[in-house]
Amino acid sequence: MSVELFKPKTRLFRGNLHGHSRHSDGVLDNAEVVETYQNLGYDFICISDHLWSDTRFCAQTVNPYVYSDSDTFLTITSAEIHCRGKAMDRDGLWHILANGLPLDFGVADDAETGAELVRRAVDAGAFVSIAHPEWYSMTTEEALALDAAHAVEIYNHSCAIEAGRGGGTYVVDLLLNNDRPVGIIATDDSHFRIPDAGGGWVMVAAEELTSKAIISSLKLGHYYSSTGPNIYDIVLENSILSISCSAVETICVAGMEHRSLYDNCSNKTKAYFDLTDFHSDWFRISITDAAGKTAWSNPYWKGKHY
């Protein structure tokens, strides 16, 4: 039996899910943000300005800016939403990324918890992700509490270059090892105080360049994330996993606990792994090129994907 885990039949659209403008604490106005990403060759972006009551760095409304040209470029209404209760954050705030929010999504009140805010955003139709968990030292208990989130930032470019804390692998695997299926995203979190655009992105397989199509594909997991390399297809035939990609140095299959398989070979564009004795309910794939740039698949689960 052959299972096409990732073999897009549609176009792949490159997008940044996390970025800011002058609507909150970014340096550029909306049009300048769009122009920056158009020049970088992106197809869509989410201007996800901070949504909270503190006027120092937040707006009190979702950014209403819309740019839509179905043939060239799209902005998706988004916000980085906050509420109280997060440990190890100087403001005591949760940072939650919500893509595809309605414009009337309201600021959290002082009683709303992180888990409640995530659920409210999901119920409003958004694709919701746990933002930069390493940057503000997310604890095990905090990560497990956000049980409705769709994804985790495995890479946040701004946090990586400003603080050396841009990772999220630990939280991804923590949730997967606790039977919590989550997607994996890479983002910029661009504020433009420094050159922080174009460092992390998603490649989304969708029928068309519309907000509805992109958000739907994100929720279905029809995408991969990258800081450089490309993943072309992932196919499981009987117990043999095949991966096609751009030229890389390492291809790794990670599973439950500390299980992993890997292939190290210069300029490799194809790899095969026998999963017969790979006793794991899930696996995810990462590939790393000669420049140290990485791409990540979403996790695949027995009984759901294969």
- Domain range list for the chain: 10-226, 231-301
For the chain, give the percent of residues with pLDDT over 70: 100
**Average pLDDT in the 33-59 region?**
97
The predicted structure's pLDDT at residue 106 = 98
The predicted structure's pLDDT at residue 113 = 98
- Give the Cα separation of 304 and 14 in Å (integer): 26
Q: 103 to each of 54, 117, 139, how far by Cα in Å?
A: 19, 16, 31
* CATH topology agreement for domains 10-226 and 231-301: no
Is the pLDDT at 70 greater than 80? The verdict is no
For the chain, give the percent of residues with pLDDT over 90: 97
Residue 21 banded pLDDT, cuts 50, 70, 90:
very high
**Average pLDDT in the 43-61 region?**
97
- Give the Cα separation of 284 and 256 in Å (integer): 10
**Average pLDDT in the 147-173 region?**
98
- Give the Cα separation of 197 and 191 in Å (integer): 8
Residue 137 banded pLDDT, cuts 50, 70, 90:
very high
**Average pLDDT in the 32-43 region?**
98
The predicted structure's pLDDT at residue 69 = 82
Q: Domain 10-226: give its CATH superfamily.
A: Metal-dependent hydrolases (3.20.20.140)
What are the start-end ranges of the H helices in 101-252?
Answer: 114-123, 140-145, 157-163, 169-177, 211-220
| Contact status, residue 243 vs residue 47, Cβ threshold 8 Å | no
Residue 115 banded pLDDT, cuts 50, 70, 90:
very high
Tokens (6 digits) for 91: 């403001």
- Domain 231-301: give its CATH architecture: Sandwich (2.60)
Average pLDDT taken over every residue of the chain:
97
- Give the Cα separation of 199 and 112 in Å (integer): 33
**Average pLDDT in the 221-238 region?**
98
- Give the Cα separation of 172 and 170 in Å (integer): 6
